[in-house]
Amino acid sequence: MEVIIKPNPEEVSREAAGLFRRQLRRKPDSVLGLATGSTPVELYRKLVAMVRCGEVSFAHATCFNLDEYAGLPADHPRSYACFMREHLFSHIRVAQWFIPDGLAKDVATHCEEYEYRIRDCGGIDLQLLGIGSDGHIGFNEPGSSLASRTRIKTLTARTVADNARFFDSAEAVPRHVITMGVGTIMEARHCLVLATGESKAAAVAAMVEGPVTASVPASALQMHPVCTLVVDEAAAKLLQRTEYYRWVYDNKPSWQRP
pLDDT at 40: 97
pLDDT at 254: 82
User: Among all residues, which ones are annotated catalytic?
Assistant: 67, 134, 136, 141
Phi, psi of 170 (to 5 degrees): -65, -35
The segments of the chain whose pLDDT lies below 70 read none
Calculated CA dihedral for residues 225, 119, 156, 83, nearest 10 degrees: 100
Q: What is the pTM of this model?
A: 0.95
Q: Rounded to whole angstroms, how far apart are CA atoms 44 and 157?
A: 29
Q: Rounded to whole angstroms, how far apart are CA atoms 117 and 200?
A: 32
Please name the CATH architecture into which domain 2-252 falls.
3-Layer(aba) Sandwich (3.40)
Kindly state the DSSP code that residue 149 receives in the 8-state scheme.
Answer: -
SS3 at position 62: strand
> Cβ(234)–Cβ(196) under 8 Å?
yes
Reference 14, options 66, 49, 38; nearest CA is 49
For the chain, the structural domain boundaries read 2-252
Contacts of 28 (CB under 8 A, 6+ apart): 57, 59, 60, 61
Q: Rounded to whole angstroms, how far apart are CA atoms 222 and 214?
A: 12
> Cβ(173)–Cβ(155) under 8 Å?
yes
Sheet containing 31-34: order of strands: 2-6, 227-232, 190-195, 126-129, 31-34, 62-65, 96-98
- E strands of the chain, at which residues? 2-6, 31-34, 62-65, 67-69, 96-98, 126-129, 151-154, 176-179, 190-195, 227-232
SS3 at position 68: strand
Tens digits of residue pLDDT in 118-146: 999 999 999 999 999 999 999 999 999 99
